[in-house]
Every structure is written in structure tokens, then in C-alpha cells.
Amino acid sequence: MTRTPVNVTVTGAAGQIGYALLFRIASGQLLGADVPVKLRLLEIPQGLKAAEGTAMELDDCAFPLLRGIDITDDPNVAFAGANVALLVGARPRTKGMERGDLLEANGGIFKPQGKAINDHAADDIKVLVVGNPANTNALIAQAAAPDVPAERFTAMTRLDHNRAISQLAKKTGVAVSDIKRLTIWGNHSATQYPDVFHADVAGKNAAEVVNDEAWLADTFIPTVAKRGAAIIEARGASSAASAANAAIDHVHTWVNGTADGDWTSMGIPSDGSYGVPEGIISSFPVTTKDGKYEIVQGLEINEFSRARIDASVQELVEERDAVRALGLI
Ligand SMILES: NC(=O)c1ccc[n+]([C@@H]2O[C@H](COP(=O)([O-])OP(=O)(O)OC[C@H]3O[C@@H](n4cnc5c(N)ncnc54)[C@H](O)[C@@H]3O)[C@@H](O)[C@H]2O)c1
Ligand SMILES: O=C(O)C[C@H](O)C(=O)O
């Protein structure tokens, strides 16, 4: 049976994450080896030529699943009929820029994109925001799309999740596939909280295997939370291939489901679970099935975790209040 191609829109397509992402989408890694895709690349006018170059390279790969590439600088065209939208392009923080300026500049990107999604995307649209500040950019886009179910707007904390798994596997000497049920809570920022208290290492409780709270507090958490900055320092540019990999993982898991007995981390609109104020886009442990996700309920949150979740959530509340004051939501 021939399947109808899935329309995947990628913003910031000419950027470094875009370059690492598009070939993987076109090869079937985002949605599955039997799912044809049409790509819509959104760029600002200055990025269009480079996006055209990437499209030429995509053509040259002769990917059997790739059924077309459109390039545009108009969000209304880019999101027309979109089933999946990866919002990667964002305004980076530059020297001397205050947080309020950054939020305002990104509001100028994510508000119109949210509106274009609202007006033109397919009914089953799923949105992943990668561009920073990812959680609050997702909130801005979501607020501009009142006709799209709020839960379709998500922010990427899968890179943090993968980083935490990798660090924990190294520490405990197991394979990454032996780590299950790790959680990133809160914001994709240095306040995020990678939680191992409910995680398993080769079938045993991770916190018990590690048995070293000082390592968790002083090494593991800061290493994961500041990994993005460490990569910028080492590479002279922010993470790209690993961020693209996490975007692929996020959407693939959302669409295809989590494995039995495991969960993942996604930035999603809070329903008030775990004392996280309703509406902010915060990272939670989630299971996914049939294209939908659910927050894992009933986890006991100890004091160590509570303080750290609350601190990251507080930062998200402040970001929400700032964009509200700017009239962006
Ligand atoms: N959530 C995460 O885990 C995570 C990880 C890594 C990077 N990021 C963020 O992802 C974003 C992109 O990173 P990058 O390295 O690809 O940046 P980049 O600067 O290489 O590329 C960004 C691209 O976006 C384009 N762009 C800017 N405004 C746009 C708009 N309004 N519409 C369409 N395109 C637009 C630019 O022209 C550029 O080509 C940054 O905000 C970065 O901080 C997030
Ligand atoms: O782009 C950044 O500021 C860092 C990025 O969000 C990352 O976590 O690698």
C-alpha cells in the first residue's frame, strides 16, 4: 500500500542543527522506514540560499522516502498542511542582551509561527520546539494557536535526557541501554533537574547503585545541566548533531511509543501534576502510545528532588510572567 507522505516543516533549516537533522528525517529516522515525507524548509530571507544548497544535497542522496522539498521564508506557506513541525530557528542571545530582550526577540519569531500553525497546519499537527529558550518559546507559539490542542506543543529536553543517561551509564559501568526511567524535570536550562531516584541501572535502583549523593549533587547534575555551555566552550558553537539526534528521538518516541517499563522526558504543558503550575511548559517523565503522551503519575518526590524541581519550575514561572508582561502570551 502506498502511504500518503507526512509533511514535516523544519524552521532554521539552514542552521547547523538543520544540517544535521534534515538528512535523518529524509532517510526515515524521524517517523519510520516505511513513512514517506515531504519537507518544508522555513528560513529568513538571508538563509534561503543556504537552504537551497542543503536541498540540492538532499536531492543528491536520492532518499527513497523523500517525496519533495519546498523552501520558503513565509511561515503561512511553510506550515500549510504540516503534520510535524520542528521549530529550530531562534534568535540567539548576543553580547549585552538581557533575558527580557531575548524573550522579546524570540516572541517576534514564535508568535507568528504559532499563528501560522494555528491557521494552516494539519489537524494532527505535532510541534517540537528546539530553539532556545525552548520551553518558553513553545509557550509563546502555543498561546498564538488557540485552535490547536495545547498538548501538541512540546519543548525539547530529550538532549538533556540522553546526556544524563550517558553520564549515568559511564559512572555505573553499564551500557546506555541498561538505563531506564530517567527523568529530566523543569526547564531546558542550567536549572533543569536530572532525576535518578526512579531510574534503573541494569534492573537495580540507580540512586542505590550510585550510593553517592555528593556525586549526584556536585558532579552528575551540574555536568548534565551545564553540558550545553561546555560544548559551546569546546566547539565554539552550540551542540548540533546531538541536538538533531535528540529531536529525532523526541518525535520518534512521541509517534511510535515508549518501550514497556520505560519512559522518556518531554517539555509539555503542565496539567498541575507534581505541583508544577498548570500551563507552563515543563519537562516531565512521560510514556507515549499511539501518538499521545501521558505524564507518569505517582512517583514519590524526595526532599532532594523537590527543591531542585521547584527551582527550575520557578524559573519557568518567571519566564512565563516576563512574556506575559511583554504581551506575547
Ligand atoms: N533544546 C535543546 O536541547 C537545544 C540544543 C541545542 C541548540 N538549541 C537551540 O537551537 C537553536 C538553533 O541552533 P543552531 O545551532 O541550528 O543555530 P544556527 O544559528 O546555526 O541556525 C539557526 C537558523 O535559524 C534561522 N532563523 C532565524 N530566525 C528564523 C525565523 N524567524 N524563521 C526561520 N528560520 C530562522 C537562521 O537563519 C539560521 O539559519 C538555537 O536557539 C539553539 O540555542 C536547543
Ligand atoms: O544553544 C545553547 O545554548 C545550548 C543548547 O541548548 C544545549 O543544550 O546544547
pLDDT tens digit string along 69-127? 999 999 999 999 999 999 999 988 777 788 788 899 999 999 999 999 999 999 999 99
231 lines ligand 2 (CB under 6 A): yes
Q: What is the mean pLDDT of the chain?
A: 97
The cell numbers describing 265, all together, are 522526558
Specify the pLDDT at position 92.
81
pLDDT in tens, 131-160: 999 999 999 999 999 999 999 999 999 999
Burial of 271 (0-12, 13-18, 19+ CB in 10 A): middle
CATH no. of 157-322? 3.90.110.10
142 Cβ inside 6 Å of ligand 2: no
The overall pTM is greater than 0.90: yes
**pLDDT for residue 1 is more than 70:** no
Mutate which of 94, 106, 132, 250 for ligand 2? The one with the most ligand atoms within 8 Å of its CB, which is 132
Active site residue 198: no
Q: Tell me what the mean pLDDT of segment 252-274 comes to.
A: 98
Q: What is the pLDDT of residues 285-298, one digit of tens each?
A: 999 999 999 999 99
Q: Among 163, 235, 238, which is best to mutate for testing ligand 1, by the most ligand atoms less than 8 A from CB? A: 238
Q: Is 114 in the pocket of ligand 1 (CB under 6 A)?
A: no
* Radius of gyration of the chain, Cα coordinates, nearest whole angstrom: 19
SS3 (DSSP) at 264? strand
Residue 50's Cβ-side half-sphere holds a number of Cα atoms within 13 Å equal to 13
- Which percentage of the chain shows pLDDT scores above 90? 95
d(CA 260, ligand 2 centre) in Å: 30
Ligand nearest to the CA of 161: 1
Among the listed residues 161, 188, 198, 250, the single catalytic one is 188
Cα(57) to centroid(ligand 2), Å = 26
How many CB atoms lie under 10 A from the CB of residue 309? 24
Q: Which three cell numbers stand for residue 98?
A: 538581557
Q: How confident is the model over 28-56, as pLDDT tens digits?
A: 999 999 999 999 999 999 999 999 999 99
- Domain range summary for the chain, segments of one domain joined by +: 6-155, 157-322
- Residue 106 is assigned to a ligand binding site: yes
Nearest by Cα to 105 from 72, 74, 76, 133 = 133
| Spatial separation of the C-alpha atoms in residues 55 and 61, rounded to whole Å | 10
Say which CATH topology domain 6-155 has.
Rossmann fold (3.40.50)
Establish whether 116 is an annotated binding residue: no
**Residue from 156, 160, 133, 184 nearest 248 by CA:** 156
Residue 130 annotated as binding site: yes
Q: Which atom of ligand 2 is nearest to the CA of 243?
A: 9
Does the annotation list 298 as a binding residue? no
Is 15 labeled as ligand-binding?
yes
Atom 37 in ligand 1: residue holding the nearest Cα: 47
- For residue 37, which of 297, 320, 317, 255 has the smallest C-alpha distance? 255
ipTM above 0.90, yes or no: yes
Residue-level pLDDT at 97? 81
Q: For a pocket test of ligand 1, which of 9, 46, 88 has the largest count of ligand atoms closer than 8 A to its C-beta? A: 88
* Closest C-alpha to ligand 1, atom 38: 15
